[in-house]
Chains A and B, each alone.
Chain A
């Protein structure tokens, strides 16, 4: 059932002599045919987690498991893994070599893996990605395409390897509003037609609402809330999720958190969100008698369970936060 899994993954960097815990203990599972959205601000570690799941970073501790087996990092094992788990990068323009035609860009994966029937494979990947008729796009260079078409070429490049999971890092962030829905609809269609699973990394809650089955909200290297999209986004339990939802342009009463995105080189003690937490600052946490714990007692790492989970002392205290 579970296809791709992160088990207690920690990833660390050394930046200017200081240790940054970019991913600080994450359990996350993507089931077969499931679309999971990983949501958070820049600097929360969501992209690092995605890169770790792709085998581009090695976890300091913990493991990535695919189909139940832990990922090994030998050249051969990684190459085999690439046929199963593919990336849809953030910036389609930068992700296409300007010197390669569409055909070459899509054929790159099959050539690396020496797959038979290159031409048919490229044509079918392009038409699956919505570029029809595919032959018309073969000799075209990326700079002759629109942003949406480039993203389709990149997706076709991943599809040409017939993977089972797509890891999409902000797949529509650099695209125009008008093409955004088309690309998201394409991801949904690929799931319906090919049974593809996807982990979509984004800062955009509307995207999660549009296409994801489950959502995991990440803050400062940890997942603070996860669960089915309807539950988490309609009735968020974590104050951070509430704040993120409240600043959407449509929202009636925005809770604008002060300060800048937090710094993974200095993770605060206690609940890592407490310095910016509006529930703590507003006194509701004190009313519930959890303010001491918020400041001093770290929270457990959430398990990768399908139901709704939240890492918050206040929410655990059984109160629905205001």
Chain B
């Protein structure tokens, strides 16, 4: 048993050693660390009262100044403060709903790909149903039924966005299942659980990671759309800031400080996830090693 844990620890150490050689992946990690730290530290160093429209101290739509380094919005609130607090909501919703979506999609995809016949058929019909359903409307309905709050938004986004992942994972599962090593494993006596966890899952993992990257991005965008349509988490997020800037014509009035900070934050976080996903893929797939 200690042998197994030692090997696992050694495996983790090896993984990190190899990950560190991926320069772009390290940039991605750096951006994510900064974003997550900012989200964690914000409540300790800033006062959330500045987010209240009625207690805003600044001038309306003021450009960056010493008091307000990133300017103010239409109610005179500090954009910097909003971006910092917004990161908490956006990241949390992005992470959690992508995680939920990934878990549902991966489980459904692997099970549908592994068991042929009727279980696969039933699961794929359900998947198709979720795929053709207008997910935004479904999410809105879900949010309305379940009431407001972060967990509602996470659930609404997660439950409506897994279908594409499931299709993708199922396709990859089918190709993995056709490999001779899966047959060899069966001949060695492996059951369904062993094949799915030891052979299929590690082989679809890079795909899951890459897909999660995109899902986090989509989730952040979906969250902002939902916020605009009235189903927000009750707090300022990057998405709702973009929405607000759009509503107040920030672009046409030249109020770049209202558009760029939340926009760049979204781009940076999405990019960071992509870089990390790529690097992980290279590390997890021994055959890609050494190829640039």
Contacts and interface: CB of A to CB of B under 8 A. Distances in A.
A and B touch in the complex (CB under 8 A): yes
**Which of the four size classes fits the interface of chain A?**
20 to 34
A75 interface: yes
A54 interface: yes
Contacts of A56: 183, 186-187
B191 interface: yes
Given A98-B287, A119-B3, A143-B287, A109 B188 contact: yes
Contacts of A91: 180
B181 A96 contact: yes
A263 to B, nearest CB: 24
Given A56-B183, A97-B181, A99-B203, A112 B285 contact: no
Interface string B1-34: 0010000000000000000000000000000000
Contact of A157 (B179, B184, B286): B184
Contacts of A52: none
Interface string B188-212: 1111001000110011000000000
Contact of A161 (B188, B191, B285): B188
B189 A95 contact: no
B188 A157 contact: yes
A112 B194 contact: yes
A112 B189 contact: yes
B188 A108 contact: yes
A87 B286 contact: no
Contacts, number: 69
A295 interface: no
B191 A98 contact: no
Interface in B162-189: 179-181, 183-189
Contact of B183 (A82, A86, A89): A89
Contacts of A108: 185, 188, 190, 198
Contacts of A99: 202-203, 284-286
Contact of B188 (A94, A112, A119): A112
Interface of A: 54, 56, 75, 78-79, 82-83, 86-87, 89-91, 94-99, 108-109, 112-113, 119, 141, 143, 154, 157-158, 161
Closest 9 CB pairs of A and B: A82-B189, A94-B180, A109-B188, A87-B187, A95-B180, A97-B181, A79-B189, A95-B184, A112-B189
27 contacts: A54-B187, A56-B183, A78-B189, A79-B191, A82-B187, A82-B188, A82-B189, A86-B187, A87-B183, A94-B179, A94-B180, A95-B181, A95-B183, A96-B184, A97-B179, A98-B285, A99-B284, A99-B285, A108-B198, A112-B185, A112-B189, A113-B189, A141-B286, A143-B286, A154-B184, A161-B188, A161-B189
Interface of B: 3, 179-181, 183-191, 194, 198-199, 202-203, 284-287
